[in-house]
């Protein structure tokens, strides 16, 4: 009696529960799919609207003259020469500072640092630092580089501010790339009597390099579009000369655009849009290069 | 069921047992590796209990035992590969040529040059065949191109791979077949001219033909090196080794002449394992 009673009850509850779930599933699935699709469309349409807006405003101003003229009081004569060169120098310096520091820190953390509470704390802070708003780095750089170290509102200060900003991103990306190198590779090298440094330099880094480069290029493309930290440390907005050294004052593309947008005349707004187009082209080609690099080397590692 | 593999092993041994070929009085030979009261810990987990054994030069010693019994762990204590795992501890003594390899003044790099290792899963560098083999000598500072070429050829010939790859030395090692890759790894280990060769299941991922090649290779290398090989294949242990060590749950249950271990083991556990009754 007892088992006979128990069995149908069990069967009953399960046969009731199962169809309900199965019936509900496709609807919730559908709803989710539609929501996801809408989200993508929304994001895409915002980007397209943005690109359309910028291009329609600024495209007619793009010309060789625009690229090679200094800013001017007359919108039609103004160009982005000093800003373009400024951005280029800024990037170059930022790369020089942040690449060895960031990759070095990543190598230390992955290969040498003991795995203890301190390194765990360090890791947590790195992740946090990567999320800190860029203006905070600007304020920090203003105090340290501009005031204490007396570098003034120079290219050097700007590059160091950007370095601070992207260092956590570079470290995190490089660590990730180094971590994907299989342990068997390190073991093979160490077992042959290679030192740890020889192993890192000749085996680990070459395999990790494409990943490191991809992460770094994405970080640099973030830095090249940054405005807030540069404004905070006091990059100039009207520069009619090219930087002639580390301590030269400078301007950069986003700063130049920011300056033009804040003017009342329509014509300057067109200039700002054109400067943005140039910046976007640089950005997109950097990202495309990163993707190319990844695709090219993905095939070669197993 | 269980009688059959045991029978096979015996027939194998009659045809190709090696220690019998040149049975020397073992007591007269100074052991190459002396292990005494070795205990090994991964954190709090003890993986090896009080292991003591001597390994003779120019002999092949097989380590057998069920999965997880500590064969790889033991093997890796001999070239200090366990050092790279965080939180490991060990006590006891391992002497190679009389030198305590865990003494504070031991240079791990020199040790690993003398104690080569071949891993279970072949792990060539993602470089060319040439670069794979030249890596070891380069690390020790050899730059001379002709010398490097010589070493590469010699090592590949020794590992019985030269004929197959001599026309493609500068193509990626990853394009080789699994068996070729494993022989490449052996050649790579030979290129730094070690005295001891540790092999952790070198043929476990290979087909019978490649396995036979590797076994033949071990037979040829035997006269130059002290070889320690981990294997799950009892026939293989019987075919290639002079001595056999049976591990069980971190302890060395029995160690001795391979023929004796396989024909009249002293311990019940050993017999059960080699006849396939457990493991
Ligand atoms: N890195 C590690 N950290 C912690 N424990 C480990 C580690 N490597 C091995 N062990 C443990 O040590 C014991 C012995 O492992 P080992 O790899 O030496 O066994 P094995 O005899 O080689 O087995 P198999 O035949 O499967 O390769 C096992 O219990 C295993 O779980
Ligand atoms: Mg093992």
Full pLDDT tens readout for chain B, 279 residues: 343 444 344 334 433 444 444 444 455 678 899 999 999 999 999 999 999 999 999 999 999 999 999 999 999 999 999 988 888 999 999 999 989 999 998 899 999 999 999 998 889 999 999 999 999 999 988 899 999 999 999 999 988 899 999 999 999 999 998 889 999 999 999 999 899 999 999 888 778 888 888 899 899 889 989 999 999 999 999 999 999 999 999 999 999 999 999 998 888 888 888 888 764
3-state SS of chain A is CHHHHHHHHHHHHHHHHHHHHHHHHHHHHHHHHHHHHHHHHHHHHHHHHHHHHHHHHHHHHCCHHHHHCCCCCCCCCCCCHHHHHHHHHHHHHHHHHHHHHHHHHHHHHHHHCCCCHHHHHHHHHHHHHHCCCHHHHHHHHHHHHHHHCCCCCEHHHHHHHHHHHHHHHHHHHHHHHHHCCCHHHHHHHHHCCCCHHHHHHHHHHHHHHHHHHHHHHHHHHHHHCCCHHHHHHCCCCCCCCCCCCCCCECCCHHHHHHHHHCCCCHHHHHHHHHHHHHHHHHHHHHHHHHHHHHHHHHCCCC
Q: Which of A44, A61, A78 is the last residue of a domain?
A: A61
- A288-294 mean pLDDT: 85
The pLDDT score that the predictor gives to residue B27 is 53
Is B185 part of the contact surface with chain A (CB cutoff 8 Å)? yes
Handedness of CA B48, B53, B58, B62 (dihedral sign): negative
Alpha carbon of residue B105 to chain centroid: 26
Q: Identify whether residues A45 and A78 lie together within a single domain.
A: no
Nearest protein Cα to ligand 1, atom 29: B68
The larger pLDDT score, comparing residue A251 to residue B73, is at: B73
Task: Indicate which ligand has the atom closest to the C-alpha of B84.
Answer: 1
Q: Where would I find the beta strands (DSSP E) of B69-142?
A: 88-96, 99-100, 115-118
Residue A140 pLDDT: 87
Residue A174 sits in a domain of what CATH number?
1.10.3720.10
Residues of B with CB below 8 A from A187's CB? 81, 84, 119, 123
Per-residue confidence (pLDDT) for residue B160, from 0 to 100: 84
Euclidean distance between CA atoms B19 and B259, whole angstroms: 8
- Position B29 scores a pLDDT of 76
Residue A229 has pLDDT above 70, yes or no: yes
Q: Are residues A72 and A177 in the same domain?
A: yes
| Residues contacting residue A146 through CB under 8 Å, at least 6 positions apart | A152, A153, A157, A233, A234
- In this predicted structure, the answer to whether residue A136 has a pLDDT above a threshold of 70 is yes
Q: Ligand 1, residues B68, B75, B85: which to mutate, most atoms within 8 A of Cβ?
A: B68
Q: For chain A, what is the mean pLDDT?
A: 83
Q: What is the Cα–Cα distance from B74 to B163, expressed in whole angstroms?
A: 35
Residues A57 and A109 in one domain: no
Minimum CA–CA partner of B87 in chain A: A115
pLDDT computed for residue A108 by the predictor: 93
Domain boundary among A13, A34, A61: A61
Contact B50, B91 (CB under 8 A): no
Query: What is the tens place of the pLDDT at every residue in A85-127?
Result: 888 888 999 999 999 999 999 999 998 888 888 888 988 898 8
As beta bridge partners, residue B115 has B196
In this structure, the residues whose C-beta lies within 6 A of any atom of ligand 1 are B 42, 45, 47, 65, 67-73, 85
Which residues face B256 on adjacent strands? Answer: B244
What is the C-alpha separation between B34 and B97, in angstroms, rounded? 8
Is the same domain home to A9 and A125? no
Whether A124 and A185 share a structural domain: yes
In percent, how much of chain A has pLDDT > 70?
Answer: 90
Q: Are residues A114 and A210 in the same domain?
A: yes
Nearest-CA neighbor of B259 among B233, B231, B240? B240
Domains identified in chain A, total number = 2
Contact B81, B123 (CB under 8 A): no
The Cα–Cα gap between B141 and B192 comes to: 11
Provide the domain limits for residue A7: 2-61
Task: Answer with the residue of higher pLDDT: A150 or B99.
Answer: B99
**CA–CA gap between residue A121 and residue B117 (Å, rounded):** 37
Instruction: Please state the rounded mean pLDDT for residues A14-27.
Output: 57
Tell whether A179 and A193 lie within a shared domain.
yes
Q: Report the distance separating Cα A84 and Cα A70, nearest Å.
A: 10
B94 is written with which tokens?
């391992």
A21 and A170 together in one domain: no
Q: Which two tokens stand for residue B13?
A: 């041994």
- When pLDDT is averaged across residues A75-90 and rounded to a whole number, the result is 85
Same domain, A159 and A218: yes
Q: Same domain for A40 and A73?
A: no
Distance from CA of B174 to the nearest CA of A (A): 8
Of B116, B117, B126, the CB nearest to A301: B126
Q: What is the mean pLDDT of residues A249-268?
A: 85
Neighbouring C-alpha atoms within 13 Å toward the C-beta of B250? 12
- Alpha carbons A55 and A63: distance in angstroms, whole number: 13
* Confidence at residue B278, expressed as pLDDT on a 0 to 100 scale: 64
**Alpha-carbon Rg for chain B in angstroms:** 19
Largest CA distance in chain B: 58
Does B228 contact A at CB distance below 8 Å? no
Q: Same domain for A148 and A20?
A: no
> Which structure tokens are listed for A114?
């003991």
ipTM associated with this complex:
0.84
> Can you give the pLDDT at residue A23?
56
Could you give the 3-state DSSP secondary structure of residue B169?
coil
Residue whose pair of structure tokens reads 């793009």 in the numeric block: A62
pLDDT-based confidence at A14, cuts 50/70/90?
very low
Distance of CA A11 to the CA centre of its chain: 56
Find the radius of gyration of the CA atoms of chain A: 27
Q: pLDDT tens digit string along A158-194?
A: 889 999 999 999 999 999 999 999 989 999 999 999 9
Mean pLDDT score, A250-259 = 86
Exposed/middle/buried for A296, CB within 10 Å: 0-12, 13-18, 19+? exposed
- Taking the C-alpha atoms of residue A174 and residue A168, their distance in angstroms, rounded to an integer, is 10
Q: Mutation target for B interface from A184, A187, A188, A200: give the one with most B CBs within 10 A.
A: A188
Same domain, A74 and A216: yes
């Amino acid at each position: 009696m007892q088992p006979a009673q128990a069995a149908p009850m069990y069967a009953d509850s399960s046969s009731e529960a199962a169809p309900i779930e199965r019936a509900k599933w496709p609807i919730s699935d559908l709803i989710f799919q539609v929501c996801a699709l809408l989200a993508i469309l929304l994001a895409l349409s915002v980007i397209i609207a943005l690109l359309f807006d910028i291009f329609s405003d600024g495209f007619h101003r793009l010309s060789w003259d625009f690229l090679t003229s200094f800013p001017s009081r007359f919108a039609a004569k103004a160009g982005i020469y000093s800003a373009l060169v400024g951005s280029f120098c800024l990037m170059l310096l930022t790369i020089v500072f942040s690449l060895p520091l960031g990759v070095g820190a990543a190598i230390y953390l992955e290969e040498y640092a003991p795995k203890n509470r301190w390194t765990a704390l360090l890791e947590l802070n790195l992740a946090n630092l990567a999320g800190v708003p860029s203006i905070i780095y600007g304020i920090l750089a203003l105090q340290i580089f501009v005031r204490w170290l007396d570098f003034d509102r120079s290219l050097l200060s700007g590059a160091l501010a950007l370095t601070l900003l992207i260092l956590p991103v570079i470290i995190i990306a490089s660590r990730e790339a180094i971590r994907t190198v299989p342990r068997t590779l390190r073991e093979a090298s160490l077992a042959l009597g290679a030192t740890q440094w020889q192993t890192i330099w000749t085996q680990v880094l070459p395999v990790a390099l494409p990943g490191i480069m991809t992460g770094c290029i994405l970080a640099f493309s973030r830095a090249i579009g940054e405005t807030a930290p540069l404004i905070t440390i006091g990059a100039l907005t009207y520069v009619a000369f090219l930087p002639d050294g580390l301590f030269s004052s400078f301007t950069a593309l986003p700063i130049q655009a920011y300056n033009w947008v804040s003017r009342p005349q329509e014509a300057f707004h067109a200039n700002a849009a054109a400067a943005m187009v140039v910046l976007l082209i640089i950005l997109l080609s950097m990202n495309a290069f990163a993707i190319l690099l990844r695709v090219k080397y993905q095939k070669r590692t197993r | 069921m269980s009688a059959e593999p045991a029978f096979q092993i015996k027939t194998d041994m009659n045809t190709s047992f090696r220690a019998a070929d040149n049975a020397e009085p073992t007591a007269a030979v100074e052991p190459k590796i002396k292990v005494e009261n070795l205990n090994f810990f991964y954190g709090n987990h003890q993986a090896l209990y009080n292991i003591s054994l001597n390994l003779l030069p120019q002999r092949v010693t097989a380590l057998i035992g069920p999965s997880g019994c500590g064969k790889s762990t033991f093997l890796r204590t001999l070239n200090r590969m366990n050092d790279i795992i965080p939180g490991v501890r060990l006590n006891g003594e391992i002497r190679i040529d009389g030198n305590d390899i865990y003494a504070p003044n031991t240079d791990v790099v020199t040790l690993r040059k003398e104690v080569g290792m071949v891993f279970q899963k072949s792990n060539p560098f993602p470089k060319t065949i040439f670069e794979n083999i030249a890596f070891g000598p380069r690390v020790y500072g050899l730059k001379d191109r002709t010398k490097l070429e010589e070493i590469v050829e010699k090592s590949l010939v020794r590992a019985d791979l030269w004929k197959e790859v001599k026309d493609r030395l500068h193509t990626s090692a990853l394009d080789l077949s699994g068996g070729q890759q494993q022989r490449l790894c052996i050649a790579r280990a030979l290129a730094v001219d070690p005295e001891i060769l540790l092999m952790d299941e070198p043929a476990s991922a290979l087909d019978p033909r490649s396995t036979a090649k590797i076994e033949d290779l071990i037979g040829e290398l035997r006269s130059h090196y002290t070889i320690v090989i981990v294997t799950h294949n009892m026939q293989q242990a019987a075919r290639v080794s002079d001595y056999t060590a049976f591990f069980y749950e971190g302890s060395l249950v029995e160690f001795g002449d391979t023929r004796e271990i396989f024909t009249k083991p002293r311990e019940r556990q050993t017999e059960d394992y080699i006849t396939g009754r457990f493991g």
